[in-house]
Amino acid sequence: MRTSEVAAQARVNPQTLRYYERRGLLPDPARSSSGYRSYGSEAVRLVRFIKRAQDLGFALDEVKSLLELAEGGPDRCEATRRLATSKMADLQGRIADLEAIRAGLARLVETCDQPRERRDCPILADISDDSDKEVHR
């Protein structure tokens, strides 16, 4: 299968395939006599696996580990579980940070309700503040 065919079936850009090859996520494909890449049918499944893992929040280095785990072995389920549990904890921390940022912005937006003639923009003033405070904490 040629690059464009794999890309179309996996619903990715052809450049994505080359990038995955450089990152070691896809094996280097065979080359035709004219130099074109020739992928096996497994390539579409691998690319879809990579994209689904990315959709779940896994970075490409983590996806590489998942691909290795998918190859088999008796400990693969437990190792995959540890990786997923770690990813969930990381996401929970990021969600908490985003919620704190949102709450900080909401407080700033609420101060905009003051009459216009009695205030400067509190959002711009807070952003301009050069102290070491964090808006979301």
- Residues 50 and 44 sit within 8 Å (Cβ to Cβ): no
Q: Check the CA dihedral 92-85-60-2 and report its sign.
A: negative
Q: Is residue 116 part of a domain?
A: yes
| pLDDT tens, residue by residue, 8-58 | 999 999 999 999 999 999 998 999 888 889 999 899 999 999 999 999 999
pLDDT at 137: 46
Range in 3-7, 25-29, 30-34, 126-130 with the lowest mean pLDDT:
126-130
Structural domain of 114: 87-137
Residues 99 and 64 in one domain: no
Strand-pair category, 30-31 with 37-38: antiparallel
CATH number of the CATH domain containing 59? 1.10.1660.10
pTM of the model: 0.71
The tokens describing 45, both together, are 């499944």
Amino acid at 11: R
Amino acid at 64: K
Residue at which a domain ends, from 21, 42, 71: 71
